[in-house]
């Protein structure tokens, strides 16, 4: 899996969760994951999560570390498993830094405050995942927590790159592991 940290600021508005967005914008062809920092504002018209639309819950963060991954030849159930794997890796990276995190499905919470947003969906030829981690919590529409504002994590690029490397290595290792067994 190809990884890339995008150094320029990108505002995540939901439309980036589209087939070949990574390839068209960053020339990364195939299974890939990118990370970037920027404001996040997903209006109801761009929401993929129907439950959030029904509950009238748009997403906003003044500053968020976002991950977008596109993976091919994967069904939606496997895509949701991969989304949860990414969330677990983020949780482990935070716990390495001494931060206790509670995972509830695809959400990470700290003392009842929401740290992440995440969604997995399927396009006509791939699965797409967006996971965002609040950097700042101010202005969020829910009780939120931020990497810098509350948790003291200031090395956002290094943190994002560590997560992408672990995720990429894990997916590659799962695929390799599937090739070493004989059928019974």
Q: Which domains does the chain have, with CATH numbers?
A: 2-171 (3.30.930.10)
The sheet that has 102-104: what strands, in order across it?
Answer: 102-104, 107-110, 113-114
Whether pLDDT at 57 is above 90: no
**Residues 66-81: pLDDT tens digits?**
999 999 999 999 999 9
Query: In this structure, are residues 13 and 184 in contact, taking their beta carbons and an 8 Å threshold?
Result: no
3-state helix, strand and coil shares in percent for the chain, rounded to the nearest 5: 30, 30, 40
| Range scoring the smallest mean pLDDT among 19-23, 76-80, 179-183 | 179-183
Quick: pLDDT tens for 160-175. Answer: 999 999 999 999 999 9
The string of DSSP codes covering 50-88 is HHHHHTT--EEEEEEEEEEEEEES--HHHHHHHHHHHHH
Note the maximum CA span of the chain.
55
Query: What is this structure's pTM?
Result: 0.96
Exposure letters 8-18 (e unless 16+ CB within 10 A, then b): eebebebebbe
């Amino acid at each position: 899996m190809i990884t890339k940290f995008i150094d320029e600021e990108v505002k995540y508005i939901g439309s980036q969760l589209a087939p070949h967005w990574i390839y068209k914008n960053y020339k990364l062809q195939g299974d890939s994951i990118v990370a970037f920092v920027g404001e996040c504002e997903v209006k109801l018209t761009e929401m993929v999560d129907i439950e959030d639309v029904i509950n009238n819950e748009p997403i906003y963060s003044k500053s968020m570390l976002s991950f977008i991954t596109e993976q091919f030849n994967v069904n939606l159930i496997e895509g949701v498993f991969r989304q949860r794997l990414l969330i677990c890796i983020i949780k482990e990276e935070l716990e390495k830094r001494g931060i206790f995190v509670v995972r509830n499905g695809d959400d990470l919470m700290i003392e009842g405050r929401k740290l992440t947003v995440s969604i997995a969906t399927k396009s006509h030829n791939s699965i797409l995942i967006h996971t965002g981690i609040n950097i700042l919590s101010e202005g969020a529409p829910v009780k939120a927590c931020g990497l810098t504002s509350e948790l003291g994590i200031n090395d956002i690029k290094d943190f994002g790159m560590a997560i992408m490397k672990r995720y990429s290595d894990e997916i590659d290792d799962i695929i390799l592991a599937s090739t070493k067994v004989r059928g019974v």
